[in-house]
Amino acid sequence: MACMPAPRSTKPLNLPDLSRLTLLVVDDNADSVEMLAAFLKACGARVLVARSAAGALAHVDAAPRLDAMVTDLAMPQMDGVELVRKVRACPDRTGLPVIALTGHYDDYAGANGFGAFLRKPVDLEQLCSAITDLVRRRASK
């Protein structure tokens, strides 16, 4: 018996339009950060990638404009909560929208400084909604 190929989905892929946005994606897991970056780039965003909180801080210092940051929370050396504290200490970054991604939701649920908390594995539609809502809210202030 020959193997039949799996049926392909006929549902069109409706990617949200994130063009004109510069996003910083931070995760110590190479697969996670690359998958998120590829998806956000496919949506038209300019994506900066950091594999550590220290790398993220270097981008925050160097990037003239960031529209939002998406960060893992459980990272070695400096977790996402401490990263956000340091970002918020920069006067021109106090209002930067930050979305937290974590597989350890209960450990971080009370942390301040985040516009949204999303559980891993991340729902990409939910991530895009959070990004667009937070960026829109920031622009209306």
| Residue extents of the structural domains in the chain | 22-139
Query: What is the CATH architecture of 22-139?
Result: 3-Layer(aba) Sandwich (3.40)
Contacts with 108 (C-beta within 8 Å, 6 or more apart), sequence order: 73, 74, 80, 81, 100, 102, 117
Give pLDDT, residue 11: 45
Per-residue pLDDT of the chain (141 residues; tens, 9 = 90+): 455 555 554 445 688 899 999 999 999 999 999 999 999 999 999 999 999 999 999 999 998 899 999 999 999 999 999 999 999 999 889 999 999 998 887 778 778 889 999 999 999 999 999 999 999 999 998
Rg (CA), the chain: 16
Is pTM beyond 0.85? Reply is yes
Alpha-carbon span 80 to 100, nearest angstrom: 8
CB atoms within 10 A of CB 111: 16
pLDDT of residue 130: 96
pLDDT for position 125: 92
- Residue 6 is predicted with a pLDDT of 53
